[in-house]
A and B are shown apart, each in its own frame.
Chain A
Amino acid sequence: MVMTIDAKGMYYRELNKMIRTAIEEGETEFVLDNINGQRYIGDAIKAKAKITIHGTPGNDMAVFMNGPTIEVFANGQDGIANTMNSGEIIIHGMVGDVIGYGMRGGKLMIKGDVGYRVGIHMKEYKTQVPVIVAGGCAGDFYGEYMAGGVMILLGLGAGEDKPIAGDYLGTGMHGGVIFLRGKVEEYQLGAEVAVMELDEKDLKLVTTYVTEWCEHFGHDVDEIMSRPFIKLKAVSSRPYGNLYAY
C-alpha cells in the first residue's frame, strides 16, 4: 500500500509523527504532496521505506536517517543527509548548504548545484562508504575535514574556464576521495590535499556512480565521461600531527 499525505499547511511535527507511526505499523511507501519547507523529513528513521516528495522539503531532511530512500521532485534546502547512516536520496534539482555533514553511509544523488560546506567530515568504515554525486557546481569548503567517503562533482553547465568548486576545497581533509570533472585553481585547494590522476580503479568507480546518476537524471554517460576528471586525496592521514610540541 502507498500512503499518500497531503502536507499542505501541515506542521512538521504532525507530518513526521504520521510517517513514524505508519512505519512502525509496517508502511513502506509514502507519497508526500504539497510539501513546503517542512523540516526533518526522514529524521532517524531506521527502516526500508520509500518516500516520494513533491514540493520543496525543509532543512535537515534525512538527518540521522538509517535506511529509507527519499526522492524529491524539486529543489532541496540546507542540511540534507546530516549525519545520515544509510539510505538513498535523489534530488531532481539543486540543494543548499551543509549537505552530508558527518555523513556515515548511504548515497546522495543531486541533479544540480550544491551550496557551501558540502560533505564536511564525511566518514567511512570498511564497507560503509558514503557517496555524494552532484551534477552542477559547488560553493566553498567542499569536502572540508573529510575523513572518508566519495564525493563526485560533475560541473555540468559550468564554462570551460570557470572553476567548478569554491575556495578552501578539502581543507583539513584526512581521508576519502573527491573526483572533480573540471578544473580548479591551485589557490582554491586546502593545504592538506593533493591533485592526482585517476587510475583504472578510480575510473571504474566514477563510471559506476555516474551511470547511476544518469539513470536518475537522464544524461548520457559517455558524454559526461568524455571530459577528464581530477582526483583529490589527503596528503596525510595526520594533517596536524606536527603542529604540537609534546
Chain B
Amino acid sequence: MATELSPVSQIPPEFHVKVDHDQCRKCKRCVLNCSFGCMQFKDKVTPDHSKCVACHRCTTFCPENAISITDHPMVYKENANWTERIRQNTLKQAETGGILLTGMGNPKPYPILWDHLLIDACQVTNPSIDPLREPMELRTFLGSKPDKLEFERDEHNNVRLKTQLAPHIQLDIPVIFAAMSYGAVSHNVHKSLAIAANKMGTLMNTGEGGLHEDLYPYSGRIMVQVASGRFGVHSDYLKAGAAVEIKIGQGAKPGIGGHLPGEKVGLEISKTRMIPVGTDALSPAPHHDIYSIEDLSQLIFAIKEATDYMKPVSVKIAAVHNVAAIASGIVRAGADIVTIDGFRGGTGATPAIIRDNVGIPIELALAAVDQRLRDEGIRNQASLVCAGSIREAADVAKAIALGADACVIGTAALIALGCRVCQKCYTGNCAWGIATQRPELTRRLDPDVGSQRLCNLLTAWKHELQEVLGSLGVNSIESLRGSRERLRGIGLDKETLEILGVKPAGVGM
C-alpha cells in the first residue's frame, strides 16, 4: 500500500486566470462553460488556477471580455537544463507514480522541415497560370496503378483499355481527414467529418473504434479502420467503407497500443466497440495476427477477399528509422495505399515519453519512402499518403512535391471545429465537445456548423493550392507530384538535403 501523501500538491498551476470584476456582470456563463472545474462562483467568479488548461472556452463566451489567461506568474530559479517542464513533471511523478499521459501532437521545438522548404515560381521564361481564369486540377486518385497499360480494339475498331485497373478512390482535393476514433472524439465530431468529407469529395477515417450505425449513410466517403483491438470490425463495416485501413502504428505513439480510458466508454461507445460500459478499451501494441510482412499480407488479402477486391486497402504505419524498408515490404505485401504518420502526429492519449521522443519527422520519412519505392520500381503499386502535422496548405503543396499522393489532417480539422490544442483530450473533459463523451459537452458541437467550418477550411486550402500551382505554371496537382526540383531547402545541412532530395536555395536548375 502506497504511503498517503499530503493532500496539498506541490505542483504549481500552469496558468493564471484573471477576472476583471469591474467588467464582470456575474452572468456565470464562464462557470457553466468550464468543464475542468476551474471557474467557480463564490459571491463572484473565483477561478481555481490549478484547474485551468487554457482551453479558452470561458474567454470565448464571456460577453464582457472580462477574462484573460496568462502563464502562471511563477518564477523558477533559472536553469537551462532543469527546465520548468522537467521540474513540474518530476513533481507530478513523485506524487502519482504514473506514466505521464498527454494528448495531441509532439509540442517540443524540433526542427520543422516544412518551414525550411521553399517553393519555386515561374518568371518570364515559362508563364505562370491565373487560377482565377483557368481550370486547376486538384483531383487525385488513391489506389494501386498498373505497371503498364495495354489497349485493344473493340468490334467497332475503337481503342479501349485492356488492362484491368485496381479499385481507386477519387478525391477532389488531396487532403483527407485523419483517423480519429469514435471514443477518442465525440459522435458529433465523426458526423461533422463525415458530412464535410461527402460535401468536399474527400475521405474521413473511422479510426479504430468502429462506425456508429447513424453514419453508415455517409460510408461512401469513409475509410474504415482495422486496428489491433478489432473494435467495431465486422463484415458489414468492411463492406460499407470506401476503403479499409489496417492500422499498424501512429506517429504520436509508434510501437505502443492504445488505452481509451473507461471514463470515455459510455453506452454508445460500449455498443460500437463491444466492450462493457466503463472498461478501458485496450488496443494491444501489435496485431496478434501480424508478426511479419507475410502475416500483414495475409490480413490484407483477408480484407480483399471480404470486400471482393472492390476496395483499396491502406496500411498505416508510424514514421520510424527504418520506414523506407518497411514501406517497401508493405507495398510488396499487397497494400494499395501506404499511410505514413510522422512523429508530430496527434493522438487522444499517449505517454508523453513516447510522443515526444519516438519516431522521425514526416518530411524525411516521406522523402525516404518515395525514393525507396522509386528505386525499387514499385512506386506505382501504391499511393503514398502522408500525415503527422500537416498544418496548412503550404505543407500540403510541399508534401505533394516531395512525393505524397495526398495528405492527412487531424489536428488542423479539430482546430477548425474549435479545438485550442490544450492537450487534455485524455481526460474526457473537452470543453469544446470534441474529445469527450459527456453528453452535456458533446452537444456543444453542432454537426451542421462543424461540417461547414471543415468545408470552409478545405475550400480555403483548395484555393491556396490552386494559387501555388498557378505560380508554378502547372495546371494540375499531378504535375507537382514528386517534383522535388520545384523545392529548395533553406538552412538545412547537406545530409538532410540529400535525404529530402532537394537542392539548397540559390542553386538553379
Interface residues of A (CB under 8 A from B): 12-13, 16, 20, 39-40, 43-46, 59-60, 63-66, 78-79, 82-83, 85, 98, 101-102, 104, 117, 120-121, 123-125, 128, 141, 144-145, 147-148, 172, 174-175, 237-246
**Are B262 and A148 neighbours in the complex by a CB distance under 8 Å?**
no
- With a CB–CB cut-off of 8 A, which chain A residues contact B97? 245
**Are A246 and B289 neighbours in the complex by a CB distance under 8 Å?**
no
Enumerate B272-306 residues with CB–CB distance to A below 8 Å. 273-276, 278-280, 282, 284, 288-289, 298-299, 301-302, 305-306
**Are B302 and A64 neighbours in the complex by a CB distance under 8 Å?**
yes
**Are B274 and A101 neighbours in the complex by a CB distance under 8 Å?**
no
**Are A241 and B306 neighbours in the complex by a CB distance under 8 Å?**
no
18 contacts between A and B (CB under 8 A): A39-B301, A44-B305, A60-B298, A82-B289, A83-B233, A121-B230, A121-B282, A123-B273, A128-B274, A144-B284, A147-B274, A147-B275, A148-B276, A237-B276, A238-B278, A240-B280, A241-B261, A244-B99
B218: Cβ under 8 A from any A Cβ:
no
**Are A101 and B289 neighbours in the complex by a CB distance under 8 Å?**
yes
Q: Provided the pairs A123-B274, A175-B276 are in contact, do residues A64 and B238 lie with their beta carbons within 8 angstroms?
A: yes
B234: Cβ under 8 A from any A Cβ:
yes
**Are B280 and A245 neighbours in the complex by a CB distance under 8 Å?**
no
B239: Cβ under 8 A from any A Cβ:
yes
Q: Provided the pairs A101-B288, A244-B98, A245-B98 are in contact, do residues A66 and B234 lie with their beta carbons within 8 angstroms?
A: yes
Please report the C-alpha to C-alpha distance between residue A79 and residue B230 in the assembled complex, in whole angstroms.
Answer: 14
- With a CB–CB cut-off of 8 A, which chain A residues contact B226? 83
Q: How far is the CB of A145 from chain B (nearest CB, A)?
A: 5
Q: Most chain-B CB neighbours within 10 Å: which of A46, A78, A241, A246? A: A246
Q: How far is the CB of B270 from chain A (nearest CB, A)?
A: 7
Q: Provided the pairs A39-B298, A44-B235 are in contact, do residues A241 and B230 lie with their beta carbons within 8 angstroms?
A: no
Closest residue to A40 on the B side, CB-wise? B305
Interface residue SS majority, chain A: loop
- With a CB–CB cut-off of 8 A, which chain B residues contact A13? 305
Please report the C-alpha to C-alpha distance between residue A102 and residue B229 in the assembled complex, in whole angstroms.
Answer: 7
B333: Cβ under 8 A from any A Cβ:
no
- With a CB–CB cut-off of 8 A, which chain A residues contact B332? none
Please report the C-alpha to C-alpha distance between residue A13 and residue B305 in the assembled complex, in whole angstroms.
Answer: 8
Q: Most chain-B CB neighbours within 10 Å: which of A20, A117, A243, A244? A: A244
**Are A240 and B305 neighbours in the complex by a CB distance under 8 Å?**
no
**Are A145 and B282 neighbours in the complex by a CB distance under 8 Å?**
yes
Q: How far is the CB of B43 from chain A (nearest CB, A)?
A: 30
- With a CB–CB cut-off of 8 A, which chain B residues contact A20? 308
Closest residue to A123 on the B side, CB-wise? B274
Please report the C-alpha to C-alpha distance between residue A65 and residue B305 in the assembled complex, in whole angstroms.
Answer: 11
**Which of A40, A44, A145 makes the CB contact (< 8 A) with B284?**
A145
- With a CB–CB cut-off of 8 A, which chain A residues contact B343? none
- With a CB–CB cut-off of 8 A, which chain A residues contact B230? 83, 101-102, 104, 121, 123
**Are A147 and B98 neighbours in the complex by a CB distance under 8 Å?**
no
Please report the C-alpha to C-alpha distance between residue A147 and residue B301 in the assembled complex, in whole angstroms.
Answer: 26
B177: Cβ under 8 A from any A Cβ:
no
**Are B101 and A246 neighbours in the complex by a CB distance under 8 Å?**
yes
**Are A243 and B270 neighbours in the complex by a CB distance under 8 Å?**
no
**Are B274 and A238 neighbours in the complex by a CB distance under 8 Å?**
no
B321: Cβ under 8 A from any A Cβ:
no
Please report the C-alpha to C-alpha distance between residue A64 and residue B93 in the assembled complex, in whole angstroms.
Answer: 43
Please report the C-alpha to C-alpha distance between residue A145 and residue B283 in the assembled complex, in whole angstroms.
Answer: 9
Enumerate B249-267 residues with CB–CB distance to A below 8 Å. 259, 261-262
- With a CB–CB cut-off of 8 A, which chain A residues contact B261? 238, 241
**Are B235 and A242 neighbours in the complex by a CB distance under 8 Å?**
no
**Which of A40, A120, A246 makes the CB contact (< 8 A) with B302?**
A40
Closest residue to B287 on the A side, CB-wise? A101
Q: When A and B form their complex, what is the total count of cross-chain residue pairs whose Cβ atoms lie within 8 Å?
A: 144
- With a CB–CB cut-off of 8 A, which chain B residues contact A245? 92-93, 95-101
Q: Provided the pairs A98-B288, A125-B271 are in contact, do residues A85 and B234 lie with their beta carbons within 8 angstroms?
A: yes
Enumerate B78-131 residues with CB–CB distance to A below 8 Å. 92-93, 95-101
Other A-B contacts than A66-B235, A238-B261, 17 sampled, CB-CB below 8 A, are A16-B305, A83-B233, A101-B288, A104-B230, A121-B288, A123-B230, A148-B275, A174-B275, A174-B280, A238-B279, A241-B261, A242-B98, A244-B98, A244-B351, A245-B97, A245-B100, A246-B98
Closest residue to A21 on the B side, CB-wise? B308
Closest 6 CB pairs of A and B: A102-B230, A245-B98, A44-B306, A44-B235, A245-B96, A237-B279
- With a CB–CB cut-off of 8 A, which chain A residues contact B270? 125
**Are A60 and B302 neighbours in the complex by a CB distance under 8 Å?**
yes
- With a CB–CB cut-off of 8 A, which chain B residues contact A43? 302, 305-306
Please report the C-alpha to C-alpha distance between residue A56 and residue B288 in the assembled complex, in whole angstroms.
Answer: 22
B213: Cβ under 8 A from any A Cβ:
no
Q: How far is the CB of A52 from chain B (nearest CB, A)?
A: 20
Closest residue to B351 on the A side, CB-wise? A244
B236: Cβ under 8 A from any A Cβ:
yes
Closest residue to B93 on the A side, CB-wise? A245
B426: Cβ under 8 A from any A Cβ:
yes
Closest residue to A79 on the B side, CB-wise? B289
Enumerate B295-327 residues with CB–CB distance to A below 8 Å. 298-299, 301-302, 305-308
- With a CB–CB cut-off of 8 A, which chain B residues contact A175? 275-276, 279
B427: Cβ under 8 A from any A Cβ:
yes
Q: How far is the CB of A237 from chain B (nearest CB, A)?
A: 4
- With a CB–CB cut-off of 8 A, which chain B residues contact A64? 233-235, 238, 302, 306
Q: How far is the CB of A107 from chain B (nearest CB, A)?
A: 16
Q: Most chain-A CB neighbours within 10 Å: which of B235, B308, B426? A: B235
Please report the C-alpha to C-alpha distance between residue A213 and residue B190 in the assembled complex, in whole angstroms.
Answer: 44
**Are A83 and B229 neighbours in the complex by a CB distance under 8 Å?**
no
Q: How far is the CB of B155 from chain A (nearest CB, A)?
A: 28
Q: How far is the CB of A201 from chain B (nearest CB, A)?
A: 18
Q: Provided the pairs A66-B234, A125-B270 are in contact, do residues A240 and B259 lie with their beta carbons within 8 angstroms?
A: yes
**Are B282 and A174 neighbours in the complex by a CB distance under 8 Å?**
yes
Q: Most chain-A CB neighbours within 10 Å: which of B233, B289, B308? A: B289
**Which of B95, B239, B274, B426 makes the CB contact (< 8 A) with A104?**
B274
Q: How far is the CB of B149 from chain A (nearest CB, A)?
A: 23
- With a CB–CB cut-off of 8 A, which chain A residues contact B305? 12-13, 16, 40, 43-44
Please report the C-alpha to C-alpha distance between residue A237 and residue B282 in the assembled complex, in whole angstroms.
Answer: 11
